[in-house]
Amino acid sequence: MNFDVSEKDMTILGVKFDNYEDFKAVWYVAGSAKFESFEPDKKFIETLKKHSQEKRLELANA
């Protein structure tokens, strides 16, 4: 599987991000997972995106 990332459009495997912080965090995790021979798919990216957004909001409200 091709690991399609567009920093300009802030998309990973077609999943669009609203902010650069979440995009970069998910890109790092997905890239690290690929290094371990795991092939991330769109569902994996969406799950990481949701988790990143939730943690960012949790920290902002702490």
Query: What are the residue boundaries of the structural domains of the chain, listed by start?
Result: 5-60
Please, what is the Cα angle at 46 between 41 and 47, to 5 degrees?
A: 100
- CA-based R_g, the chain, Å: 12
In the structure, what pLDDT confidence band is assigned to residue 37 with cuts at 50, 70 and 90?
Answer: confident
Q: Summarize pLDDT for 18-36 with one digit per residue, the tens.
A: 999 999 999 999 888 777 7
Q: Per-residue pLDDT for 1 more than 60?
A: no
Q: What is the pLDDT of residue 32?
A: 84
Q: What is the pLDDT of residue 34?
A: 75
Angle, helices 42-60/20-35, rounded to nearest 10 degrees = 130
